[in-house]
Structure 1
Amino acid sequence: MFADDLCSLRTGTDLADTCRLVQRDIDAVVKSSHDNGIILNSDKTNLLIIHSPYLRPTGSPPFMYTHSFSCLHNDFVCGNCMPIKEVDCATYLGVKVDNNFSWSHHVDYICDKLRLFLGKSYHLRFKVPTIEPILGYALDSYGLTFKTHIDKLDVLQIRFLILLVSNKTKANCKVKRMAQHWSTTVIVPTRLMSAGKFEVPKVNNYFGDRTLKKRLPYLLNSSPEDIHREQEKNVFKRKLKKYFIANLA
Structure 2
Amino acid sequence: TKAFDSLSHEILLSILFSLGIRRNTLNWLRTYLCNRKQYVEIVNYNKNQMKISHQSKIRSVRHGVPQGSILGPLLFICYTGSLPKLSTSSQLYLYADDANLKISGSSKDELELTSKADLHLLKEYFNGRQLLLNPDKTNYITFETRQTKLPIDLTININNKTINVVKCTTFLGLEIDKNLSWNFHAEKVISKISSGIFALSRLKKFFNVDSLKKVYFAYIHSIISFGISLYGATSISNLNTILKLQKKAIRVILNLKPTVSVKEYFVSLNIMTVYGMNIFETIQSLQYKLSDLKLVGDSHDYNTRNRGDIFLNSHRLQLYKKKPTYMGSKFFNEIPKDIKSAGDHSEFKRKLKKFLVNKALYSFEEL
Both proteins in one fold, TM over 0.5: yes
The equivalent residue for 2:106 is 13
What pairs with 1:91-240 in structure 2 (closer than 5 Å)?
91-125=170-204, 126=207, 127-130=211-214, 131-132=216-217, 133=220, 134-165=223-254, 167=256, 173=262
Letter in 1 for 2:244: V
Unaligned runs of 5+ in 1: 68-80, 177-205, 208-249
Task: Write 1 or 2 for the structure with the bigger share of helix.
Answer: 1
Aligned residues of 1:42 and 1:84 also touching (Cα < 8 A) = yes
Q: TM-score, normalised by structure 2?
A: 0.40
Question: Secondary structure of the equivalent of 2:186?
Answer: helix
Offset of 1:83 from its aligned partner? 0.6
Matching of residue 65 in structure 1 with residue 157 in structure 2 = yes
Aligned residues of 1:51 and 1:57 also touching (Cα < 8 A) = no
Letter in 2 for 1:28: L
Unaligned runs of 5+ in 2: 5-95, 266-317, 320-367
Give the superposed CA RMSD.
Answer: 2.9
Aligned residues of 2:190 and 2:241 also touching (Cα < 8 A) = yes
The equivalent residue for 1:37 is 130
Q: Deviations over 1:163-220 (max 9, x none)?
A: 113659x9684899xxxxxxxxxxxxxxxxxxxxxxxxxxxxx59xxxxxxxxxxxxx
The equivalent residue for 2:144 is 51
The equivalent residue for 1:71 is none
Identity score, percent: 21
Question: Secondary structure of the equivalent of 2:98?
Answer: coil
Aligned residues of 2:181 and 2:234 also touching (Cα < 8 A) = yes
Cα distance change on mapping 1:43 and 1:56 into 2, 3 Å? farther
Distance 2:181 2:197 in 1: 25
Cα distance change on mapping 1:164 and 1:139 into 2, 3 Å? same
Aligned residues of 1:15 and 1:57 also touching (Cα < 8 A) = no
Q: Deviations over 1:114-173 (max 9, x none)?
A: 1122212222341444122201111111112211121221121111111113659x9684
Question: Secondary structure of the equivalent of 1:90?
Answer: strand
Distance 1:118 1:173 in 2: 16
Cα distance change on mapping 1:148 and 1:137 into 2, 3 Å? same
Distance 1:166 1:159 in 2: 10
Task: Write 1 or 2 for the structure with the bigger share of strand.
Answer: 2
Largest Rg, 1 or 2 = 1
Cα distance change on mapping 1:21 and 1:104 into 2, 3 Å? same
Question: Secondary structure of the equivalent of 2:99?
Answer: coil
Distance 1:25 1:97 in 2: 23
Cα distance change on mapping 1:46 and 1:150 into 2, 3 Å? same
Number of equivalenced pairs: 164
Letter in 2 for 1:34: N
Distance 2:150 2:123 in 1: 27
Cα distance change on mapping 1:57 and 1:25 into 2, 3 Å? farther
Aligned residues of 2:247 and 2:262 also touching (Cα < 8 A) = no
The equivalent residue for 1:23 is 116
Structure number with greater CO (CA < 8 Å, separation at least 6) is 1
Question: Secondary structure of the equivalent of 1:9?
Answer: strand
Offset of 1:59 from its aligned partner? 5.5
Question: Secondary structure of the equivalent of 2:103?
Answer: coil
Q: TM-score, normalised by structure 1?
A: 0.58
Distance 1:52 1:172 in 2: 39
The equivalent residue for 1:83 is 162
Cα distance change on mapping 1:48 and 1:21 into 2, 3 Å? same
Q: Deviations over 1:88-120 (max 9, x none)?
A: 000000000000000001101111111122212
Distance 2:116 2:212 in 1: 50
Distance 1:164 1:32 in 2: 54
Cα distance change on mapping 1:173 and 1:36 into 2, 3 Å? closer
Distance 2:188 2:264 in 1: 34
Cα distance change on mapping 1:164 and 1:54 into 2, 3 Å? same
Distance 2:198 2:241 in 1: 17
Aligned residues of 1:89 and 1:99 also touching (Cα < 8 A) = yes
